[in-house]
Amino acid sequence: MGVLSDGMEMMRNTIFAVVLALMPLAASGQDFDAGLAAAQRGDYAVALKEWRPLAEQGYADAQSNLGLMYRNGHGVPQDFAEALRWYRLAAEQGNDGAQFNLGLMYANGQGVPQDDAEAVRWYRLAAEQGYAAAQSNLRLMHADGRVSPQDDAEAVGLYRLAAEQGNARAQFNLGLMYANGQGVPQDFAEAGRWYRLAAEQGVAVAQSNLGGMYFYGQGVPQDYVTAHMWFNVAVADGHSSAADARDAVASLMSGADLSEAQRRAQMCLKSGYSDCD
């Protein structure tokens, strides 16, 4: 897998931008990969030639990447309206990167009238899929008073309905709302409860967040062994950014505690998350 990067903005008024990962498609993968290789060496004309036919056939990743090219003016004249068109096509197919970028354009008023409510809608869709930048931008918008309490309360209600039916992503997002005090009073213990339910269904970002709660002692007793275990499980389940947190907590642990944490992580994974204590 390759990633095409255009850098990151850290402007509080506009929220920050991240770039979507460019992932090979199941179909026409060679064409997509050829476009990716071209983009990575700065040959956007070739990338456009490879990706446009795929995008016109409905491939969401290619559509999302065309949106990125038009937004940044890579290989084409910068055109926010065209970027929006391609982002929307991909976002409506569930592409989380396109959902995030569409939200970003509404938040910044790029190609459309600035619209916080629409930005929140698209950020939430991406956040529900575990897209970390969307979750972060929602928190920033909340901190800036750009997300109404009514919006948060409605989101909590929707998440709760799905979470109580066992939807793992909704369980994670409900935990996130409790952790941040969005739409509900901040309650780390309740956040941990919902994170745990999602973690036991294999949601790696929930596993990582749960590890963080044990590391800091938020809503649970501080426990480096359990924190390391959940960070390790999250890494094994594909959340690679948890590796830094795992290694940080390991530096604070004795050899015996580290061995115990590793043993518990193996048992947790082997048992399908039924034996994680």
Q: What is the pLDDT of residue 143?
A: 64
pLDDT tens for 159-201 read 888 888 888 988 998 999 999 998 899 999 999 999 999 999 9
Where helices occur in the chain by DSSP H, the ranges are 29-40, 44-56, 60-72, 80-91, 96-108, 116-127, 132-143, 149-164, 168-180, 188-199, 204-216, 224-236, 242-250, 255-270
For the record, the structure tokens of 256 come out as 């015996």
* pLDDT confidence bin for 26, thresholds 50/70/90: very low
Kindly give the interhelix angle for 116-127 and 96-108, rounded to the nearest 10 degrees: 160
Do 148-277 and 1-145 fall under one CATH topology? yes
**Mean pLDDT on 30-51:** 87
Q: What percent of the chain has pLDDT over 70?
A: 89
Q: What is the pLDDT of residue 8?
A: 27
CATH class of 148-277: mainly alpha
CATH class of 1-145: mainly alpha
pLDDT tens for 197-250 read 999 999 999 999 999 999 999 999 999 999 999 999 999 999 988 999 999 999
pTM of the model: 0.55
81-90 burial, b at 16+ Cβ within 10 Å, e below that, comes to ebbbebbbbb
Domain boundaries, given as residue ranges, for the chain = 1-145, 148-277
